[in-house]
Amino acid sequence: MNTPLVANPSQSPTDCLSFKWRELPAIPPNQRCWSPAIPVGAPEWHQIGLGGAISGVHNDWLLVGGGANFPEPGLTVTRPNNLGKVYWDEAFALNLTSNVWSAKPMKLPKALAYAATISLPEGVLVLGGEGFESANGSLCEKVQPSADVCLMRFDGHLETLSFQDYPSLPYAMSSPSACLLGRSVFLQNGQDVYSLNLDSIAEGWSRLGTCPGDARSAALTSGVGDRFLIASGRSLKPDADVILRDAYAYEPKTRAWTVLPDMPLGAMAGMAFAVQGRFFVVVGGDGNEARAREYRRLDAERKLAQEGSAGWVHANTAMTFLHDHHTGFNQQIQVFDGLTGTWSQCGFLPSAAPVTSQPVQWRDELLLVSGEVSPGKRTPKIWAGKPQLCSK
């Protein structure tokens, strides 16, 4: 059933979107040498990319910090390593008008990844996430989820970062999803939905109830028209398919949910952008449901077997095979039209599709900042895509 979310007589229901892409300078190498297992500063050392990086735009500067990866040479997520997944605390700033990275060393207050981020005129809002008090690996110490919220600001003259505390989340959240609608932040985690009025932050977070459908993580959210949209994600039910394709819209005025048509393809951990107040643009994401089910089956088999037994070795080897021969995530660009209430495919990405990256917009462009391009493998690349109306 078509579910119009916007009504604009000047727009045609036959309009669609096309995209023109350009590549921005890649993220610089990390500079802080905090472990002898990582050859920071060696001639061969370069930025391998960051999963779940803290990213956003302030004062025409793209800010990228924190994030997580597997930087030990020759060691990956599927092979024994010393540090495990490494969480960084360094930050970088790219002048988007000159395309030049700042040379000044900068740091986040702590090592952090998988937070939700929202670019605001006053700075980049960073919500939740997980990590450590300083750069560390998941095999060295237990990763801690965070309930912290802060505003990250950049002084373009001094080229320095500053941070302002905002009301904490109701509880610690890793990989929440958030977006801006007017001057209100809407945040989803599991089935919980909260809002924060940026013009009355002292009032803190308000619970809006629960989202329909399964509890989910790594979902897609954005504000289209006067609605908060949520789609896809990974089901948190142990007996359910991992990747979801359902979608919903929440209207703050009526506090009511509307069921939207299912996505053509799931897009867990992808990016969602609001374009022209009408379109919900989904970029990247994991839609391979069959592979996800097989991986979940093998993981359960491995957990039931004694480590080192024949059954454990078989499941572990099969999981490594699936990782090593992963062919990448969704390259299709999926678009929900709030005027017609329908999904369509609007082209493909120009390069490997990232996941676990936050949607960032600058002026009239969509920014794809680093992220994960296959299990355990990151990219340092940054792409800018300009959406344009076209006719079907």
pLDDT digits (tens, 9 = 90+) for 33-78: 899 999 999 999 999 999 999 999 999 999 999 999 999 998 777 7
CA distance 221 to 219: 7
For the chain, give every domain's residue range: 15-287+329-391
Structure tokens at 349: 């990405």
For the segment 333-350, the average pLDDT, to the nearest whole number, is 95
> Which residue type sits at 138?
S
Mean pLDDT of 110-127: 98
**Cα–Cα distance for residue pair 212/191, rounded to 1 Å:** 7
Per-residue pLDDT reduced to its tens digit, 70-109: 999 987 777 778 999 999 999 999 999 999 999 999 999 9
Taking 60 as the threshold, does the pLDDT of residue 278 lie above it?
Answer: yes
The whole-number pLDDT of residue 1 equals 44
Q: Across residues 165-184, what is the average pLDDT?
A: 97
Tell me what percent of the residues of the chain surpass a pLDDT of 70: 98
Instruction: Give residue 254's pLDDT.
Output: 95
Using alpha carbons, select from 333, 225, 213, 319 the residue that is nearest to residue 270.
333
pLDDT of 263 > 70? The answer is yes
For residue 133, pLDDT beyond 90:
yes
Compute the average pLDDT of residues 335-355.
95
Query: Can you name the CATH fold of 15-287+329-391?
Result: Neuraminidase (2.120.10)
**What is the pLDDT of the chain when averaged over all its residues?**
94
Please give the C-alpha separations between residue 59 and each of 65, 117, 122, 161, in angstroms, as whole numbers.
16, 16, 9, 12
Residue 50 contacts residue 376 (beta carbons within 8 Å):
no
The reported pLDDT for the residue numbered 233 is 96
